[in-house]
């Protein structure tokens, strides 16, 4: 994504205490990760959390910890599996 510096990522989730408006600190958001298919399938949970953390860090969402992401992910995957 280009031209996003100071654009807002808005979260309205009072239940999880994640409400707020977070501004992008960079003008261009982009990253590439390379995994072979076996590694990606074997560790998709950890890799997806890494990408999620990378994205929210670009918006200065510092109050979201790795443990919060892990808990959210486990709850989400528990419902869908």
Report DSSP letters for 12-36, one per residue: --GGGT--EEEE-SSSB--------
* Domain ranges within the chain, ordered by starting residue: 8-80
Question: Cα separations (Å) of 74 from 10, 23, 67?
Answer: 23, 27, 10
pLDDT tens column, 11-55: 777 666 567 788 888 898 888 889 999 999 999 889 988 888 888
Using DSSP's 3-state secondary structure scheme, residue 80 falls into helix
Question: Cα separations (Å) of 11 from 4, 8, 23, 31, 77?
Answer: 17, 9, 11, 22, 20
pLDDT tens column, 54-78: 888 888 877 778 888 888 888 888 8
């Amino acid at each position: 994504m280009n031209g996003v510096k100071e654009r807002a990522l808005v979260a309205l989730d009072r239940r999880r205490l994640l409400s707020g408006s977070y501004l992008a600190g960079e003008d261009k958001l982009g990253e590439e990760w390379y995994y072979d298919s076996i590694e990606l399938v074997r560790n998709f949970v950890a890799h997806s959390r890494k990408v999620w953390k990378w994205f929210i860090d670009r918006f200065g969402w510092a109050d979201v910890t790795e443990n919060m992401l892990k808990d959210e992910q486990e709850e989400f995957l528990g419902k869908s599996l």
